[in-house]
Homo-oligomer: A and B are copies of this chain.
Amino acid sequence: MSSDVPGFELPLRLLLAFRTLIDELHAELSKQGHPDIRPMHGFVMQAIGPGGTTAVELGRTLGVSKQAAGKTIDTLERIGYVERTTDPGDTRRKIVRLTPYGLDALNRSARIFDTLRTRWATELGEDRLRALESDLRKVTPANPWRLDMPGWFGSL
Which A78-136 residues sit within 8 Å CB-CB of chain B? 109-114, 117-118, 120-121, 123-124, 128-129, 131-133, 135-136
Q: Nearest chain B CB to A81's CB is how many angstroms away?
A: 16
The answer on a CB contact under 8 Å between B113 and A149 is no
Which A1-58 residues sit within 8 Å CB-CB of chain B? 2-3, 5-22, 25, 38-40, 42-43, 46
The answer on a CB contact under 8 Å between B156 and A153 is yes
CA A63 – CA B147 in complex, angstroms? 26
CA A39 – CA B15 in complex, angstroms? 12
Cβ 8 A contact of A124, one of B121, B139, B154, B156: B139
Count residues of A near B (Cβ-Cβ below 8 Å): 61
Given A38-B156, A39-B156, A123-B138, check contact A18 B20 (CB 8 Å). Answer: no
Given A10-B117, A156-B38, check contact A139 B111 (CB 8 Å). Answer: no
Cβ 8 A contact of A2, one of B2, B8, B117, B153: B117
A residues near B (Cβ < 8 Å) are 2-3, 5-22, 25, 38-40, 42-43, 46, 109-114, 117-118, 120-121, 123-124, 128-129, 131-133, 135-141, 144, 147-149, 151-156
Across chains A and B, which 6 residue pairs bring their CB atoms closest together, nearest first?
Answer: A7-B113, A13-B136, A16-B140, A7-B110, A14-B18, A11-B21
